[in-house]
Structure 1
Amino acid sequence: MKISSVGICLFSLFSGSLATPLCTGSLNVESVKMVHKIIQAAYNTNDTSTWDSLAEMTDLYGNRMTGTVQYDRSAEWVLRNAKSHPELVAWGEDVSVDYWQRNEESVELYIPTREPPVVKLNMLGLGLSVGTGPKGVEANVIPVSTFEELEQLGNSTIAGNIVLFNADFISYSDNSKYRRLGAENAQKYGAVGVLVQSITGYSLNTPHTGSMTPSSIPAAAITIEDSKLITRMYNRHKAAKADPKIPNAELFVPPKVNIKMNAQNHLNYTRSPNIIIDLKGSEKPEEIVIISGHLDSWDVGVGAMDDGGGAFCSYDALKLISKLPRRPKRTIRVLMWNNEEYTSKGAKSYFNTHKDELDKHVFAMESDIGNFEPWGMRVMAPQEQVNKLAAYGKLFLSDIGGGNATITTTAPAVDITPLCNYGIPCGSFETLDIYTQKSPILLQGKEGYFRFHHTDADRMEILDPRQLRHNVVAIATWAYLLADE
């Protein structure tokens, strides 16, 4: 039987709890019972299966850079696992991908008062950067904090030099423009290379890589500590030039570095798959609810946090639903996207391959901003639908988290962007900050995530088995509710 339509109040059916009215959308009594069974899994403290399986894959194969054999072996591992569950239908859909190969790279800073006078800096070349050739690129460094400052200095100051973008961390959206567009902008004024202060608010001398817009000059990330060192050297040299009589003026040389990068770009290098895993719906199997994360990672760390956690929590949410005595009406589809990290060819390929069934997609969710304590979803959909989701979340997920729903007017995650822009309701599943427990809609709510983002520190130890289990349960709850309305 139907309990109600939108605006009518539903009563909680959780055993042992008080009947609490809350306004929601149209739900079947049996749906509520199944969601209750899903939520009980959150309290099984012996269940560390999500953490264990992700650790097994990453321990066996390491990182999963698009275009590498390690990606393909990881994809095969997932497909073997999925095909051992007869209730699931799993396959790979090949995507034509490029391959950016890092190879050997270094940044050396010259400080003649030190012994030795050449200081090797921790660095990571930016994805899609060109190489430098065997001799590297050697030049003085000009620090700037903004694109406006770069423009003010202009060709007369920038030409022949290396630009350092040294902006301090505000948020990923504020700071990532320097990584993505820094080289493209600096080359307009004659720069011969670019360094970018890593996009993080906290550093243990750790560089952070990431993709950039292709440019004719090389670009690399350096640590906050070395960015500040270079900036101090530049400012002292500038002060000494203005007043040669200041103490130690003769020691204040301009910062000069040598960048060596043997990076190579291989276009249309190979074909490797998006992974698709379906639990077919009981009444409307042609209608689809997507839950997802991307399988590829950068070539540093093992991609446990970005985005092994999101991909495996989505997959284990589907496995949890598959064990219920009652399947949802619609198909729930797990997507492990390929190539999210630099050109999103996996997302584009899925959109084009499935264009004839896009109108049958009911909702698309992606988890790609950490899997710590569950918070909820940022949703791109009409306000009425977001309100309904918020009511569901308050009713079902108040105890374990993950039940918030707030509206956004732009696509909230990378891989689902084509689907969102097509008009399919979509959401980014997000969690509280790993350290502050702040909401992800606040600036402080994601700072902890960016301490590890695109670094060698993206390892299994960031993730907690209990938190992953709660993520699985929250994602499964959302998926079941959306698929069974």
Structure 2
Amino acid sequence: MKFLIFAFFGGVHLLSLCSGKAIYKNGISKRTFEEIKEEIASYGDVAKAIINLAVYGKAQNRSYERLALLVDTVGPRLSGSKNLEKAIQIMYQNLQQDGLENVHLEPVRIPHWERGEESAVMLEPRIHKIAILGLGSSIGTPPEGITAEVLVVTSFDELQRRASEARGKIVVYNQPYINYSRTVQYRTQGAVEAAKVGALASLIRSVASFSIYSPHTGIQEYQDGVPRIPTACITVEDAEMMSRMASRGIRIVIQLKMGAKTYPDTDSFNTVAEITGSKYPEQVVLVSGHLDSWDVGQGAMDDGGGAFISWEALSLIKDLGLRPKRTLRLVLWTAEEQGGVGAFQYYQLHKVNISNYSLVMESDTGTFLPTGLQFTGSEKARAVMEEVMSLLQPLNVTQVLSHGEGTDINFWIKAGVPGTSAYLPSREGSYHKRCGKTIPQGCSNQNGMLLVQKQTHRPMEQVREASNKATHIQPSDLWQSQQ
């Protein structure tokens, strides 16, 4: 809910400050801050109406029902797969049926990689099957696999110090988890650094703060001029075990088999829908999430949840009969997991109109309890944001923190457009990019917009009439065109 109200008030009415000019390069309106505060406060009743509709009214559980139906029906949506394109066509039809405006598809050429069969077995000092998930864009092994001794390191620096030991071996990274942004470099660059010192393959400890013997996947990057070697993630438990063995001087031998293949790029689409602005329709507030996922799990958290709460933002505003002054645009990205391919294409096509973008927003940080927003913009714009977030006091979601970012919106932020992402100090890293990417139990109503477990709240006594009149779409209604 926090994200939805912010999309409407923070983006549409406030960040562009009703001046008739979108903020670009972190500009600011000539209106006084007191005038802006007064306008923000005047939206209090509308904020309550949106809260009531989403949390207590007829739209309760709608995001969950929509999301569950998609992921249960389509399943994982890997870049280049038929499942992804099926999901895009379903969403295109659903957005039209939802009564949104200017629904269309924008073509993108995207990578097509498939993991194939994969396995890893420790042969020495004992037989032990190792759980692995190959990393996106990795090459495969020869059909007979790669059998080699293991070198365990905890950092790139250690790998460089022990470079003479790495040739002809499988490098296992057991890097400590600091945070995602600092630790993910081992997943993205681990194969390249291992190949530079002559390794045959690399296995990386999953980038996670928590593990129940669950390897994670994700994208990795090769470098021109460096040999390409197979690479995969292993569990925290196996990385720690091999590190202990190595510290005792025990020889470790692994047989690795990976059937991964990269195929020619294929056609896909970004999916777009809008509520057209009433006064400044050329100016845009963008909300987004990505439809693609990895091929393990359902992709419900990464990023089905983010995509569907972004859709819900427009649905709630439409259901309440609200018309923003600026165009509210939903973009459901394709091929985010391959490095923001769809978002980069969108930026290239639309950056000519960058001065008309008031705000870009992305939800791709999980479906746990939000406490506020992360925001990138000027100090004056941040002060406005803090006033906006005060409207969400009934939900106790009022924080405004620094460093709003996201793979799909960073192009715009770096060019000077204010950007936001949800702040969820949560277990998201425990679930992202692994086989169990369903929505975990216990997440009910924590996002406010994505009511993950079905709830049966008693409506508040003062639910606004508009909330009661809003249409509640049943799951069976969403897919009529697919029957």
What TM-score does the superposition give when structure 1 sets the normalisation length?
Answer: 0.82
1:106-125 deviations in whole A, cap 9, x for unaligned?
Answer: 1111135x5xxx32211001
Alignment equivalent of 1:208, drawn from 194, 207, 216: 216
Query: Which residue of 1 is the match for residue 310 of structure 2?
Result: 314
Give the structure 1 partner of residue 295 of structure 2: 299
Larger of the two Rg values belongs to structure:
1
Q: Out of 419-428 and 79-88, give the one that drifted further.
A: 79-88
Q: Note the C-alpha offset of 1:323.
A: 1.8
Match of 2:134 in 1: 125
SS in 2 for 1:151: helix
Alignment of 1:11-90 (within 5 A): 24=37, 26-27=39-40, 29=42, 31-44=43-56, 47-90=60-103
Is residue 229 of structure 2 the alignment partner of residue 217 of structure 1? yes
What is the CA distance between 1:147 and its match in structure 2?
A: 0.6
Specify the alignment match of 2:373 in structure 1: 377
User: Is the Cα–Cα contact under 8 Å of residues 189 and 221 in structure 2 kept in the other structure?
Assistant: yes
Tell which has more relative contact order, 1 or 2 (C-alpha 8 A, sep 6+): 2
What residue number does 1:263 align with? Answer: 260
Report Cα offsets for 1:286-344 as digits up to 9, x if no partner.
11001111111111111111111111001011100112233110010111111111221
101, 110, 118: which one aligns with 1:105: 118
Structure 2 Cα separation of the partners of residues 181 and 26 of structure 1: 48
Distance 1:183 1:301 in 2: 24
Offset at 1:76? Answer: 1.2
Counterpart for residue 152 of structure 2: 143
Q: Which residue of the partner structure matches residue 334 of structure 2? A: 338
Q: How does 1:55-454 map to 2 (within 5 A)?
A: 55-111=68-124, 114=126, 118-154=127-163, 156-214=164-222, 216-236=228-248, 238=249, 252=250, 254-268=251-265, 270-394=266-390, 396-408=391-403, 412-433=405-426, 448-454=427-433
Letter in 2 for 1:55: A
User: What is the distance in 2 between the residues matched to 1:83 and 1:7?
Assistant: 39
Letter in 2 for 1:403: T
Aligned-residue offset at 1:87: 4.1
| Distance in 2 between residues matched to 1:288 and 1:276, nearest whole Å | 13
Tell me the amino acid that sits aligned with residue 257 of structure 1: I
Q: Distance in 1 between matches of 2:40 and 2:110?
A: 42
CA offsets 1:258-299 (integer angstroms, 9 cap, x no match):
11111111242x111111110111111111001111111111
1:471 Cα shift?
5.5
Q: Bigger CA drift: 189-198 or 225-234?
A: 225-234
Distance 2:48 2:101 in 1: 22
User: The residue matched to 1:234 in structure 2 has which SS?
Assistant: helix
Aligned counterparts of 1:170 and 1:122: Cα–Cα separation in 2: 23
Residue aligning to 2:7: none
Structure 2 contact 367–428 (Cα < 8 Å) conserved: no
Asked if structure 1 preserves the Cα contact closer than 8 Å seen for 2:305 and 2:450, the reply is: no
Q: CA deviation at 1:407?
A: 2.7
Contact 2:146 2:257 in 1 (8 A): yes
Deviations 1:150-206 (A, max 9, x none): 11112x211111111101222111211111111111111111110101111211111
8 Å contact from structure 2 (residues 312, 449) kept in 1: no
**Would you say 1:460 and 2:439 are equivalent positions?**
yes
Q: Which amino acid in 2 is paired with 1:422? A: A
Distance 1:217 1:182, change over 3 A: same
Is contact 2:75-2:298 (8 Å) kept? yes
SS in 2 for 1:349: helix
Q: TM-score, length-normalised on structure 2? A: 0.83
CA distance in 2, matches of 1:175, 1:339: 22
- Structure 1 distance, partners of 2:282, 2:441, is 38
| Secondary structure of residue in 2 paired with 1:140 | strand
Query: Residue 367 of structure 1 contacts residue 430 of structure 1 at CA under 8 Å; is this kept in 2?
Result: no
How big is the alpha-carbon RMSD for the aligned residues of Structure 1 and Structure 2? 2.1
Contact 1:390–1:406 (8 Å) recurs in 2:
no
- The farther-off stretch of 169-178 and 371-380 is 371-380
How many angstroms apart in 1 are the aligned matches of 2:281 and 2:168? 61
Of stretches 86-95 and 215-224 in structure 1, the one that deviates more from structure 2 is 86-95
User: 1:355/1:7 Cα in 2 relative to 1: closer, same or farther (>3 Å)?
Assistant: closer
Q: Tell me, yes or no, if the aligned pair for 2:102 and 2:274 is still in contact at 8 Å.
A: yes
SS of the residue 2:405 aligns to: coil
Q: Aligned partners of 2:54 and 2:63: how far apart in 1?
A: 12
Distance of 2:358 and 2:170 partners within structure 1: 49
Q: Which residue of 2 aligns with 1:8?
A: 34
Task: Report how far residue 460 of structure 1 moved.
Answer: 3.1
Inter-partner Cα distance in structure 2 for 1:318 and 1:416: 19
1:85 Cα deviation from its structure 2 partner: 2.3
Unaligned runs of 5+ in 2: 1-16, 19-29, 452-483
Equivalent position amino acid for 1:260 in 2: K
Aligned length: 419
Which residue of the partner structure matches residue 458 of structure 2? none
The 2-side partners of 1:233 and 1:27 are apart by: 61
Work out the CA distance in 1 between the residues paired with 2:434 and 2:55: 32
User: Secondary structure at 2:408's aligned position in 1?
Assistant: coil
Secondary structure of residue in 2 paired with 1:186: helix
In structure 1, give the amino acid aligned to 2:244: R
Identity %: 32
The CA distance in 1 between the partners of 2:339 and 2:57, in whole Å, is 39
